[in-house]
């Protein structure tokens, strides 16, 4: 008899992170504890959990490298104490000087961490797609000026019972690049983790659609913890942390302004069943792209 997946409870911790790293660690830890009390064995926090700061100099002064980092130490101990999988959506991590070729090169990684119940880092992921955009309301963002883009997609096996559940890791803007999620799903990921800090404008227009679309396309659970509300550095984020099932049904959702916790029961077998009903991953085909001579002439 084949082994069955064991259902588990997942939680999204919604935050309103500020500019003080220590306060953000404390606020996050309190909400993670709340999630664990509600029975969650996988807890996810948003992008930029430990600091949101638009001032480059102040940000560089506040952050630390991975090998000497108070937040990593705190979250490692917390995961071990609570015996949970703790997915810190991302942190600004100072890169080693050897990885910064010039003074003008990006000096920071936007890095997510997955801590196992033993407190060890089970996986880490650097955000691949940089949010370089100009919005109608005058907002302009150039993540590539500050952050080094990642080059490696990352999956991890969450051990619940006898059969592990595969997680694909992404961050915020990555959600607009469906091929990343397709790659994860084609390689066994049943859960897609997309912690975020969506702007209010882009969130109002696209957040719900993107979350449900990625879930439906790939027959997978989308778990997306978000930053919310007006932040100390002046930005406003959309919130609405969300857990979506493989059929596109929203299982749990936060509001758009407040920190807090949402939970939902995850039965990985539902992803398997959804993929049997609509086997899009199996039916997917490669194809050639051609243009006619008239188009080529123009």
Provide the annotated active-site residues: 47, 127, 172
For 147-157, letters b (16+ CB in 10 Å) and e give bbebeebbbbe
Q: Which residues contact 112 (CB under 8 A, 6 or more apart)?
A: 47, 87, 88, 89, 90, 91, 124, 125, 126, 127, 169, 171, 193, 195
- 229 SS3 class: strand
- 90 SS3 class: strand
Q: Are 189 and 158 in contact (CB under 8 A)?
A: no
- 168 SS3 class: strand
Q: What is the Cα–Cα distance from 239 to 296, expressed in whole angstroms?
A: 45
Read off the tokens for 224.
């997306």
* Bridge partners for 9 per DSSP: 265
- 123 SS3 class: strand
Q: What is the Cα–Cα distance from 98 to 182, expressed in whole angstroms?
A: 33
Q: Helix, strand, coil % (nearest 5) of the chain? A: 35, 30, 40
């Amino acid at each position: 008899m084949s082994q069955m997946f064991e259902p588990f409870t997942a939680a999204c911790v919604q935050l309103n992170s500020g500019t003080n790293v220590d306060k953000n660690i404390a606020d996050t830890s309190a909400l993670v504890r709340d999630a664990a009390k509600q029975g969650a064995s996988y807890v996810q926090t948003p992008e930029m959990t430990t600091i949101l700061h638009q001032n480059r100099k102040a940000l560089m002064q506040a952050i630390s490298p991975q090998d000497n980092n108070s937040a990593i130490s705190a979250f490692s101990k917390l995961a071990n104490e609570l015996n949970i999988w703790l997915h810190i959506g991302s942190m600004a991590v100072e890169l080693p000087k050897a990885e910064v070729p010039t003074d003008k090169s990006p000096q920071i990684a936007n890095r997510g961490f997955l801590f196992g119940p033993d407190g060890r880092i089970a996986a880490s992921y650097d955000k691949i797609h940089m949010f370089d955009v100009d919005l109608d309301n005058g907002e302009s963002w150039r993540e590539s000026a500050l952050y080094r883009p990642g080059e490696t997609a990352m999956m991890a096996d969450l051990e619940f019972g006898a059969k592990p559940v595969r997680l694909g890791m992404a961050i915020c803007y990555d959600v607009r690049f469906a091929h990343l999620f397709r790659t994860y799903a084609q390689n066994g990921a049943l859960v897609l983790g997309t912690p975020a800090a969506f702007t209010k404008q882009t969130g109002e227009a696209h957040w719900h659609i993107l979350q449900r679309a990625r879930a439906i396309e790939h027959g997978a659970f989308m778990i997306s913890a978000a930053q919310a509300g007006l932040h100390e550095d002046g930005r406003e984020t959309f919130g609405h942390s969300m857990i979506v099932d493989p059929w596109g049904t929203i299982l749990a959702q936060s509001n758009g302004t407040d920190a807090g916790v949402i939970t939902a029961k995850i039965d990985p077998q539902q992803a398997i069943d959804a993929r049997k009903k609509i086997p899009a991953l199996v039916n997917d085909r490669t194809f050639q792209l051609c243009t006619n001579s008239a188009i080529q002439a123009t």
